[in-house]
């Protein structure tokens, strides 16, 4: 049952004070129920009441932190099933499966997937180390994986191997091996050192094992919902998430692992397709057999689209973006900072093969016409950008190409920018290739 303001009000001393920033305790209780204020803000709430209400006030899906400080990974904490209901909290993470025989071969590709897109680093966050039966080699591989500066998932059901590898696997570790037969021992091994991955032969067995671990007081858990088939895995991922968020069954209120290394069996195209499916529903960590750069681009782009606040448009940082080997003598092209516009325009400019300096000004993350209508894209805003970024001091060319849909700004910009020649581009990005190949300044 969801926590309600009245539940808190019944346990709150009726002091009618303003210590909590509210004139009445009922107002405070309602704000806590809405998630607008923390329980601890009330100085008169007893420890017993805080304990009683703490778990109920938490999200139905527990937030799991792997590691400490700035380097930690955060999973879970979700409150809704669908992105259009509310922004998702924690993006899914990607892992690559390795063992003692494959880690050296796979690491170059893993390292290659490391780039910045719209201010977010895109890289393989975890290495999933598979136990092949030799505890010493398993530990050595775990140590090598940790040295890569990524999180480590230790995939083993052997307690001795788990202990040995955990000692050298770094600070961001998931021990993925607990099941109905060994959960007590694995809870002891993981302790406060690592999050514990739990699996079951069926969804019912997984549920019972999680419930047993919770009785032991261990709640730093991640559900491995990987089944024998894609169908079984998808059903488990969806049912566990729905049980937690819709039915408020907190036994299933944990992040999940989906192991595509087992399901796709090395088929690259199938693996990429399944990774996109489980990015949507509902893999918190998705384990791949490999991650090549061309494979990563669409997956990370999809993830960023899904796990970005839909009410806050994705923006490109304002600045100078040289394209096609542009230098200080290359002409300038300007457009807005809306991410979709940037990627479409920059792609066409690259296809043209003409060296160009793409100037991105702050337009509030809006598209060209929307920014112009809102006053975010104007002769004044362009002139301010040119001054703030010292364009005239960095670029010798005095030709500026503006979007065709705001051709009306041409005269105003020329008035603001003395000595500049302003040229109007075509209305559609697809026409830019022909335009610039034939362009003569």
The residue among 301 and 7 whose pLDDT is bigger is: 301
Share of the chain above pLDDT 90, in %: 77
The residue with tokens 């005239």 is: 392
> Fold match between 5-53 and 63-306?
no
* pLDDT confidence of residue 4: 47
- CATH for the stretch 5-53: 1.10.15.40
Helix (H) / strand (E) element for 439: namely: none
Average pLDDT over residues 411-426: 94
Mean pLDDT, all residues of the chain? 89
All residues at 6 or more sequence positions from 104 whose CB lies less than 8 Å from its CB, including other chains: none
Asked whether residue 393 carries a pLDDT value surpassing 70, the answer given is yes
**pLDDT tens figures, 198-225:** 999 999 999 999 999 999 999 999 999 9
Contact 101, 132 (CB under 8 A): yes
Handedness of CA 291, 297, 300, 306 (dihedral sign): negative
If you average pLDDT over residues 397-403, what whole number do you get? Answer: 95
The confidence score (pLDDT) of residue 24 equals 53
pLDDT above 50 (res 3): no
The pLDDT of residue 120 is 87
> Average pLDDT, stretch 350-363?
95
For the chain, how many helices (H) and strands (E)?
Answer: 18, 17
DSSP 267-319: -HHHHHHHHHHHHHTT-SEEEES---HHHHHHHHHHHHHHTS-TTS--BPPSE
For 330, what's the count of Cα atoms within 13 Å in the CB-facing half-sphere?
A: 20
What would be the CATH architecture of the domain defined by 63-306? Answer: Alpha-Beta Barrel (3.20)
Look at the block and give the residue holding tokens 């998430």. 241
Structure tokens at 441: 């300044």
- The tens digit of pLDDT for each residue in 48-107 reads 666 666 666 678 899 999 998 888 999 999 999 998 888 898 999 999 999 999 999 999
Q: Are 32 and 40 in contact (CB under 8 A)?
A: no
Could you report the per-residue pLDDT of 119-175, keeping only the tens digit for each? Answer: 889 999 999 999 999 999 999 999 999 999 999 999 999 999 999 999 999 999 999
The pLDDT of residue 312 is above 80:
no
The residue-averaged pLDDT of 344-351 equals: 94
Please, how many CA atoms are within 13 Å of residue 354, restricted to the half-sphere of its CB? 21
Domain ranges of the chain: 5-53, 63-306, 319-437
Domain 319-437 fold is Rossmann fold (3.40.50)
Does 26 or 250 have the greater pLDDT score?
250
Taking the C-alpha atoms of residue 33 and residue 31, their distance in angstroms, rounded to an integer, is: 5
Cβ atoms of 106 and 130 within 8 Å: the answer is: no
Lowest mean pLDDT among 14-18, 98-102, 226-230: 14-18
Q: Are strands 173-178 and 73-76 parallel, antiparallel or unpaired?
A: unpaired
């Amino acid at each position: 049952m969801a926590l309600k303001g009245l539940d808190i009000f019944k346990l709150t001393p009726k002091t009618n004070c303003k210590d909590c920033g509210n004139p009445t305790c009922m107002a405070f209780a309602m704000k806590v129920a809405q998630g607008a204020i923390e329980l601890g803000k009330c100085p008169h709430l007893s420890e017993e009441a805080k304990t009683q209400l703490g778990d109920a006030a938490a999200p139905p899906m527990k937030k799991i932190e792997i590691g400490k400080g700035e380097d930690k990974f955060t999973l879970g904490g979700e409150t809704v099933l669908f992105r259009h209901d509310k922004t998702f909290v924690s993006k899914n993470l990607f892992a690559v499966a390795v063992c003692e025989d494959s880690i050296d071969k796979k690491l170059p590709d893993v390292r290659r997937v490391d780039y910045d897109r719209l201010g977010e680093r895109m890289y393989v966050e975890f290495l999933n180390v598979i136990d092949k039966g030799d505890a010493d080699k398993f530990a050595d591989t775990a140590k090598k994986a940790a040295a890569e500066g990524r999180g480590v998932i230790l995939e083993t059901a052997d307690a001795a191997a788990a202990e040995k590898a955990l000692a050298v696997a770094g600070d961001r570790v998931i021990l993925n091996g607990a099941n109905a037969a060994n959960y007590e021992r694995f809870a002891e091994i993981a302790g406060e050192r690592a999050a514990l991955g739990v699996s079951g032969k069926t969804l019912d067995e997984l549920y019972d094992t999680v419930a047993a671990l919770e009785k032991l007081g261990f709640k730093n858990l991640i559900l491995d919902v990987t089944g024998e088939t894609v169908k079984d895995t998808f059903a488990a991922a969806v049912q566990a998430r729905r049980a937690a968020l819709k039915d408020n069954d907190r036994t299933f209120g944990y992040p999940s692992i989906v192991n595509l290394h087992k399901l796709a069996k090395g088929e690259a195209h199938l693996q990429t397709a399944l990774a996109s499916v489980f990015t949507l529903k509902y893999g918190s960590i998705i384990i791949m057999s490999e991650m090549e750069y061309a494979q990563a681009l669409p997956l990370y782009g999809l993830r960023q689209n899904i796990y970005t606040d839909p009410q806050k448009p994705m923006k490109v940082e304002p600045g100078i973006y040289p394209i096609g080997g542009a230098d200080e003598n290359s002409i300038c092209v300007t457009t807005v900072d809306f991410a979709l516009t940037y990627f479409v325009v920059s792609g066409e400019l690259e296809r043209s093969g003409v060296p160009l300096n793409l100037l991105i000004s702050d337009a509030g993350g809006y598209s060209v016409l929307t920014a112009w209508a809102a006053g975010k894209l104007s002769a004044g805003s362009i002139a301010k950008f040119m001054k703030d970024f010292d364009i005239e001091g960095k670029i010798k060319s005095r030709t500026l190409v503006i979007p065709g849909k705001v051709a009306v700004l041409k005269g105003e910009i020329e008035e603001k920018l003395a000595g500049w020649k302003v040229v109007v581009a075509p209305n559609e990005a697809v026409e830019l290739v022909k335009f610039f190949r034939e362009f003569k300044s």
